[in-house]
Structure 1
Amino acid sequence: MSQAPQTLYRKLVDSHTVATLDEQNVLLFCDLHLMNEYTSPQAFAGLDERGVSVAAPGQNMAVVSHIIPTHPVALRVIHDPASALQASKLKRNCERHGIPLFDTNDRRQGIEHVVAPEHGMVRPGMVVICGDSHTTTYGALGALGFGIGTSEVEHVLATQALVYRLARDMRITVDGTLPPGTTAKDLILAIIARIGAQGARGCVVEFTGAAIAALSVEARFTLCNMAVEAGARGALIAPDDAAIGYVLDRAPDIAGHERNAALAHWATLRSDDGAVFDVEHRFDAATIAPYVTWGTSPDQAIPVDGRVPLPDDAADEAARQSIEQALRYTGLPGGAPLAGTPIQHVFIGSCTNGRIEDLRAVAAVVGNRHVAPGVRAMVVPGSGAVKAQAEAEGIAARLQAAGFEWRQPGCSMCLAMNDDVLADGVRCASTTNRNFEGRQGRGAITHLMSPAMAAAAAVTGCITDVRKLA
Structure 2
Amino acid sequence: MNQPKTLYDKHIDSHTVCTLDDQGHVLLYIDRQVANEYTSPQAFSGLREAKRTVWRPSATLCVVDHVNPTAPKRIAAMPDAGGALQVSYFEENCRDFGIELFDVLDKRQGIEHVVAPEQGFILPGMMVAAGDSHTTTYGALGAFGFGIGTSEIEHLLATQTLVYKRLKTMRVTVQGEMGPDVTSKDIIMALIQRIGASGATGYAIEFAGSTIESLSVEARMTICNMAVEAGARGAFMAPDEKVYAYLKDKPRVPKGALWDQALEKWKALYSDPGAQFDKEVELDASELIPMVTWGTSPDQAAPIGACVPDPADEPDAIRRMDLQRALRYMGLEPGTPLTEIAISHAFIGSCTNARIEDLRDAARVVQGRKVAENVRAMIVPGSTQVRDQAEAEGLAQIFQEAGFEWRQSGCSMCLAMNDDVLSPGDRCASSTNRNFEGRQGAGARTHLMSPAMVAAAAVSGRLTDVRTLSLEA
Indicate whether the TM-score tops 0.5. Answer: yes
Residue aligning to 2:11: 12
Give the AA of the match of 1:168. K
State how 1:167-186 maps to structure 2 within 5 Å: 167-186=167-186
> Are 2:121 and 2:252, in contact at CA under 8 Å, matched by a contact in 1?
no
Structure 1: distance between partners of 2:209 and 2:345: 36
Residue aligning to 2:155: 155
1:250 partner SS: coil
Residue aligning to 2:383: 383
1:285–1:420 CA distance, 2 compared to 1 (3 A): same
1:76–1:374 CA distance, 2 compared to 1 (3 A): farther
Where does structure 2 lack aligned partners over 5 or more consecutive residues? none
> Are 1:184 and 1:219, in contact at CA under 8 Å, matched by a contact in 2?
yes
State how 1:192-341 maps to structure 2 within 5 Å: 192-251=192-251, 253-341=253-341
1:308 offset after TM fit, Å?
1.0
> Are 1:69 and 1:76, in contact at CA under 8 Å, matched by a contact in 2?
no
Cα deviations by residue, 1:369-427 (Å, 9 ceiling, x for unpaired) = 00000000000000010000001001001100110000010000000011110000000
Structure 1: distance between partners of 2:253 and 2:266: 16
Displaced runs of 4 or more, over 2 A = none
Structure 1: distance between partners of 2:373 and 2:294: 23
> Are 1:295 and 1:330, in contact at CA under 8 Å, matched by a contact in 2?
yes
**Total equivalences in the alignment:** 469
TM-score by length of 1: 0.99
> Are 2:55 and 2:159, in contact at CA under 8 Å, matched by a contact in 1?
yes
1:68–1:74 CA distance, 2 compared to 1 (3 A): closer
Residue aligning to 1:130: 130
Structure 2: distance between partners of 1:77 and 1:333: 44
2:299 partner SS: coil
Give the AA of the match of 1:307. C
Residue aligning to 1:406: 406
1:76 offset after TM fit, Å?
3.9
Structure 2: distance between partners of 1:110 and 1:328: 36
Residue aligning to 1:461: 461
Structure 2: distance between partners of 1:354 and 1:218: 10
1:353 partner SS: coil
Structure 1: distance between partners of 2:256 and 2:395: 37
Structure 2: distance between partners of 1:87 and 1:232: 30
Residue aligning to 2:358: 358
> Are 1:70 and 1:380, in contact at CA under 8 Å, matched by a contact in 2?
yes
Structure 1: distance between partners of 2:280 and 2:181: 27
Structure 2: distance between partners of 1:10 and 1:312: 44
Residue aligning to 1:439: 439
Give the AA of the match of 1:43. A
1:212 partner SS: helix
Residue aligning to 1:49: 49
> Are 2:119 and 2:252, in contact at CA under 8 Å, matched by a contact in 1?
no
Give the AA of the match of 1:161. T
2:336 partner SS: coil
1:257 offset after TM fit, Å?
2.5
1:74 offset after TM fit, Å?
3.8
Structure 1: distance between partners of 2:449 and 2:429: 7
1:343–1:137 CA distance, 2 compared to 1 (3 A): same
Structure 1: distance between partners of 2:408 and 2:325: 35
1:252 offset after TM fit, Å?
6.0
Structure 2: distance between partners of 1:82 and 1:49: 22
Structure 1: distance between partners of 2:187 and 2:50: 47
Give the AA of the match of 2:123. R
Where does structure 1 lack aligned partners over 5 or more consecutive residues? none
Cα deviations by residue, 1:10-68 (Å, 9 ceiling, x for unpaired) = 10000011111112111111111100001111111111111110000000010111011
Structure 2: distance between partners of 1:139 and 1:74: 31
Structure 2: distance between partners of 1:253 and 1:416: 33
Question: Comparing 252-261 with 134-143, which one deviates more in the overlay?
Answer: 252-261
Structure 1: distance between partners of 2:235 and 2:112: 17
1:5 partner SS: coil
> Are 2:120 and 2:253, in contact at CA under 8 Å, matched by a contact in 1?
no
Structure 1: distance between partners of 2:17 and 2:329: 48
Question: Comparing 434-443 with 250-259, which one deviates more in the overlay?
Answer: 250-259
Give the AA of the match of 1:406. W
Percent of aligned pairs sharing the same letter:
59
Residue aligning to 1:116: 116
1:79 offset after TM fit, Å?
1.3
Compute the RMSD of aligned alpha carbons.
0.8
> Are 1:28 and 1:162, in contact at CA under 8 Å, matched by a contact in 2?
yes
State how 1:43-122 maps to structure 2 within 5 Å: 43-122=43-122
1:254 offset after TM fit, Å?
1.7
> Are 2:4 and 2:275, in contact at CA under 8 Å, matched by a contact in 1?
yes
2:358 partner SS: helix
Cα deviations by residue, 1:259-306 (Å, 9 ceiling, x for unpaired) = 221111111100000100001100100011100000000000000001
Structure 2: distance between partners of 1:315 and 1:214: 39
Structure 2: distance between partners of 1:341 and 1:40: 39
1:251 offset after TM fit, Å?
4.4
> Are 2:145 and 2:235, in contact at CA under 8 Å, matched by a contact in 1?
yes
Structure 1: distance between partners of 2:320 and 2:114: 38
1:253 offset after TM fit, Å?
4.5
Cα deviations by residue, 1:406-449 (Å, 9 ceiling, x for unpaired) = 00100000000111100000000000000000000000000000
